[in-house]
Amino acid sequence: MYTYAFLLGAHPTLSLAEILNYLANQKISFGEYLWLPEVLIIKLKESPEEITKLQTELGGVIKIFWIKEEFKGKIFQLEDKLTPKKLLAEFFAQNQTKINFGLSIYANPELSYAELNWLSNYAHNIKQRLKNEYSIRYVEDRSWNLSSVQVNRNRLIDTGAEIALMRDKDRFYIGKTLTVQDYEAYSKRDWDKPSPDAKSGMLPPKLAQMMINLAREKKTTAIFDPFCGSGIVLQEALMLQLKIYGSDISTDAVKNTISNLEWLIKLKKMPELKLATRIKKADATTIRWSSPNKSETVVITEPYLGPPLKSILFTHQAKTIIDELTDLYLDFFKNLRKNFSKIEKVCIVFPVFKTRDGLRYLDIMKHIEELGYKRVSLLPENIIKKDSSISHRGGILYSRPDQLVLREIFVFHKK
């Protein structure tokens, strides 16, 4: 087996859940793994070339590293483990033209000032020892954490290397960056689409992709979003080469979805689709549709999360909104059970409201279970019990610090 490391995104618990569920659902066997605050280190049988392909499929992964060396001890041993000769032979992409290299650190606990100072001297010494024979440049960052932008713009992967140093207590892992997230592509799909909708289309593309990966299995061929908004879930499903079906109660939302998907299909030069047969105006609580009603289809959706808020709610205000949304969500699950009996998996967002008395949740878990849908545990129990970004009932929380409504993400499986 090879050892790899995945640099996790801004919501590391969700990113961890995405990777582990993706591997399990796609039947990719994996060995031991270690979760540091920012990084997942894991053993996989797939080759580096195969693992590199995962970058475009995993929304919560910023970089993928191939761990080439590990040792137990002090950072100063790096000088013996990572010599100029070894860098040229195993790390640098080439040595015929200009070599650009950089260092990033992901350590628990963080490196001391003395350790960082030594590491800086070490990196500059590497450059000095090689500069007489090679055109070499050291790319450094004060934070010791090169961004995807810096890695791309300095062409570290194809002209030299980004070397990642990871530490868990006294064990060090030395990695070579295989690939970084295509930040420009995500940004384009988020901001450049022709028909954005601030009311119903604010789901980030990365989150949509992560939700798909939490639930889809190897047999999954299609995604159905019955609250499609402006089509963000569907566009990410298309990017993963899945069939799509979407509906929304709003005529404008349906028009926006079709417009955005047509734009994406043209942008990515995908085969044309008869979107009029894939996207329709319908109420998610009453819709009947035979086309997506198959066991190979997974529902991925973010329903209506309530009205826009300008300030933290009083408890009685939150109760009024929650009561209204409870009916909507339960009616959706009732209809799903009745008219989409072949669909087995659902990944869905529930709203969680900040109030002056704390967080308030939709109290519908028991009712959903009574309808025949069981919550899927997305992470090992030891993580669920101690992680603050997991709700008391097992949902993964997703939000920015300034948001008044949090997202609580669940996967349900029909019993």
- Other Cβ atoms less than 10 A from the Cβ of 161: the count is 22
Parallel/antiparallel/unpaired status of strands 39-44 and 30-35: antiparallel
Q: What would the two tokens of residue 256 be?
A: 């926006």
Tokens 């290299």 label which residue? 101
Which residues lie across from 407 on neighbouring strands?
Answer: 351, 398
Q: Angle at CA 112, nearest 5°, toward 139 and 179?
A: 35
Query: Residue 247 in contact with residue 279, Cβ under 8 Å?
Result: yes
Q: Residue 335's CB: how many other CB atoms inside 10 A?
A: 17
pLDDT value at residue 95: 79
> What is the rounded CA–CA span in Å between residue 256 and residue 337?
28
Question: Residue length, the chain?
Answer: 415
Q: Would you state the pLDDT for residue 199? A: 62
- Three-state secondary structure of the chain: CEEEEEEECCCHHHHHHHHHHHHHHCCCCEEEEEECCCEEEEEECCCHHHHHHHHHCCCCEEEEEEEEEEEECCHHHHHHHCCHHHHHHHHCCCCCCCEEEEEEEEEECCCCHHHHHHHHHHHHHHHHHHCCCCCEEEECCCCCCCCHHHHHHCCHHHHCEEEEEEEECCEEEEEEEEEECCHHHHHHHHHCCCCCCCCCCCCCHHHHHHHHHHHCCCCCCEEEECCCCCCHHHHHHHHCCCEEEEEECCHHHHHHHHHHHHHHHHHCCCCCCCHHHCEEECCCCCCCCCCCCCCCEEEEECCCCCCCCCCCECHHHHHHHHHHHHHHHHHHHHHHHHHCCCCCEEEEEEEEEEECCEEECCCCHHHHHHCCEEECCCCCHHHHHHCCCECCCCCEEECCCCCCEEEEEEEEEEC
Q: Encode the chain (415 residues) as per-residue pLDDT tens digits.
A: 999 999 999 999 999 999 999 999 999 999 899 999 899 999 999 999 999 999 999 999 999 999 999 999 999 999 999 999 999 999 999 878 899 999 999 999 999 999 999 999 999 999 999 999 999 999 999 999 999 999 999 999 999 999 999 999 999 999 999 999 999 999 999 999 998 876 655 899 999 999 999 999 999 999 999 999 999 999 999 999 999 999 999 999 999 999 999 999 999 999 999 999 999 999 999 999 999 999 999 999 999 999 999 999 999 999 999 999 999 999 999 999 999 999 999 999 999 999 999 999 999 999 999 999 999 999 998 888 889 999 999 999 999 888 999 999 999 999 8
Which residue in 328, 323, 308 sits closest to 227, CA to CA? Answer: 328
Q: Which pLDDT score, from 0 to 100, does residue 96 have?
A: 83
Parallel, antiparallel, or unpaired: how do β-strands 345-355 and 405-414 relate? Answer: antiparallel
Q: How many other CB atoms sit within 10 Å of the CB of residue 215? A: 25
Q: Taking CA 147 as the corner, what is the angle to CA 82 and CA 12, rounded to the nearest 5 degrees?
A: 95
The pLDDT of residue 198 is: 66
Cα distance between residue 75 and residue 56, in whole Å: 33
Give Cα separations from 324 to 235, 328, 354, 362, 363 (angstroms).
29, 7, 17, 10, 12
The pairing of beta strand 358-360 with beta strand 99-108: unpaired
User: Long-range contacts of range 390-398, CB-CB < 8 Å, 24 or more positions apart?
Assistant: 390/13, 391/352, 391/361, 393/361, 393/365, 395/350, 396/11, 396/13, 396/14, 396/17, 397/352, 398/11, 398/14, 398/207
**Which residue segments constitute the domains of the chain, with CATH numbers given?**
2-181 (3.30.2130.30), 184-414 (3.40.50.150)
pTM for the whole structure: 0.95
pLDDT at residue 332, as a whole number? 98
